[in-house]
Structure 1
């Protein structure tokens, strides 16, 4: 990844701090089209996978049907990640968290997803995205914490997520930082992404490290005070 060492080093710091059970922020890549944000985001996800993280991939959709498409993708990615983690060597707590994933997928309105990975639970099934996402993240990330691992959602074209989902994601990133859950949003988007995040939740500027691939000079870092 030539010319991207600064961003890779920033992500490596997140990985290292996670292994030491130290607080972290999420990470946002912001820049014009064609500067390599998606390639870099894919690289960082692969890097996270190599460290045993529980990762999923989303892409924002600006069209009207994007609301449904993104939620279907969310459910399928969760199911795929759960299958990867649902081996006999996995600890009981993670296997229990898989039930929360099943319940969350149903609450998303995607009951047709058949994962065969466990029973549903009484968590993440309220039908309110803010509540259900927080319970999902809590159960999965705390199950991973004992292994010094993390739950990460990699989001391309993040500025195009619908307002409801974007707000819920920012809110749960804030909760994770306050409560010590190893959960991180790693997003990429156009130069308007930082403004979009701030408009969704005014405190979002404290939750992410912002890197601008393709720009000369130092990246701008948004420091968390949570």
Structure 2
């Protein structure tokens, strides 16, 4: 079929033509905004899930809903920034937000106060020689200038919440890849959001991250479990998975046979990004107006090759040979969460020898710990990919330090 009319969107973070299976999260977000607009408290949200389940897409949809409701949106993808870079990022985003709330010429005392607190927040960055942070606003004294990230960010969000409320608006922070925030940064965000809740200000936070994000939030602030509602995204159920594949095609006048959908669900296990990739590949081999099981079977090789190159390989390429061997040893044991000791035995090593490697893979976001002593892949079907990419397990030799001469 015509590639121009291909209705599937396998690109990372790209919104599908038809979003299904996320109605509960969308409704919870609408309720969050509406309650805050009425100065009633409501839990902010943290969305978790494996790679490819649509967390980024959902955040994008939240942003659309917030803008339609005339909220200001602050959105960014977390990375392993130090505090200086984090302050710089927050300054840049919030400066733009304040200017959208009201042009400088129309600032009220509340708006100017927010600007002054933000200038104070940026002072540590200016002292480190960063450029682009000056905007001719005198820093506040005694607010945003404590030198403690949590206290400073709290002052900023309180000032911005008051400025937004005065203008009849709200502010929502949408943060992707939350698990990559430094502990102090995550703690500061939670602390600041908590204070805006106590003041009943229209400030909402939605974070998205890998499954370990729930544990990370609870570790930094015990009250995080009450401050946020946690929603875990998984694979789409049978009916929703069928709709995700069939409805975009139907918009182009193409129908899937039932047995074609059966095979598609068998191959993708209902994971949204896999459905989009398979749909895109099937579109290239099928003939309108009907997609048959044979078309899905024919597209399978191209589908797996595209996933291997664009979804799995980019993650594996960050791993060292020893880290790669650890992932391959896990794959040998199957897709389920695996005990550290069992993986070590497959590698013919002691647990203490490979423990640092396991920790590094968790830090890279390739593994997570669903429970104590176990680790699991953060991408579905990663075990099958590892077996295709590395048919035989090869464990690098232990590097021994040379003995010092007497």
TM-score (norm: length of structure 2): 0.49
CA distance in 2 between counterparts of 1:59 and 1:34 reads 16
* Corresponding position of 2:131: 112
CA distance in 2 between counterparts of 1:197 and 1:91 reads 36
* Corresponding position of 1:49: 67
Say whether residues 1:128 and 2:145 are aligned partners: no
Deviations 1:35-71 (A, max 9, x none): 1101111221232233232332232224xx5554433
Judge conservation of contact 1:18–1:182 (CA < 8 Å) in 2: yes
Which moved further from structure 2: 18-27 or 190-199? 18-27
* Shift in Å, 1:10: 0.7
Instruction: Give the direction of change, closer, same or farther, for the CA distance of 1:33–1:124 in structure 2 (3 Å limit).
Output: same
Judge conservation of contact 1:103–1:121 (CA < 8 Å) in 2: yes
CA distance in 2 between counterparts of 1:189 and 1:117 reads 36
* Structure with higher RCO (Cα < 8 A, 6+ apart): 1
Name which of 193, 199, 208 aligns with 1:188.
208
Name which of 68, 72, 94 aligns with 2:88.
72
Which moved further from structure 2: 139-148 or 154-163? 139-148
CA distance in 2 between counterparts of 1:59 and 1:70 reads 11
* Shift in Å, 1:18: 1.8
CA distance in 2 between counterparts of 1:125 and 1:8 reads 37
Say whether residues 1:161 and 2:153 are aligned partners: no
Unaligned runs of 5+ in 2: 1-18, 238-406
CA distance in 1 between counterparts of 2:224 and 2:151 reads 18
Which structure has the bigger radius of gyration? Answer: 2
Which moved further from structure 2: 80-89 or 164-173? 80-89
* Shift in Å, 1:132: 0.9
Root-mean-square deviation over aligned CA pairs:
2.3
The number of residue pairs the alignment matches comes to 215
Question: The residue matched to 2:233 in structure 1 has which SS?
Answer: coil
CA distance in 2 between counterparts of 1:14 and 1:125 reads 31
CA distance in 2 between counterparts of 1:193 and 1:2 reads 24
Question: The residue matched to 1:18 in structure 2 has which SS?
Answer: helix
* Corresponding position of 1:101: 118
Say whether residues 1:197 and 2:210 are aligned partners: no
CA distance in 2 between counterparts of 1:216 and 1:80 reads 37
Judge conservation of contact 1:75–1:113 (CA < 8 Å) in 2: no
CA distance in 2 between counterparts of 1:42 and 1:115 reads 30
Deviations 1:120-165 (A, max 9, x none): 3222122211221111111110222234422222111111100111
* Corresponding position of 1:137: 157
* Corresponding position of 2:44: 26
TM-score (norm: length of structure 1): 0.84
Instruction: Give the direction of change, closer, same or farther, for the CA distance of 1:118–1:84 in structure 2 (3 Å limit).
Output: farther
Unaligned runs of 5+ in 1: 218-226
CA distance in 2 between counterparts of 1:12 and 1:106 reads 36
Judge conservation of contact 1:25–1:207 (CA < 8 Å) in 2: yes
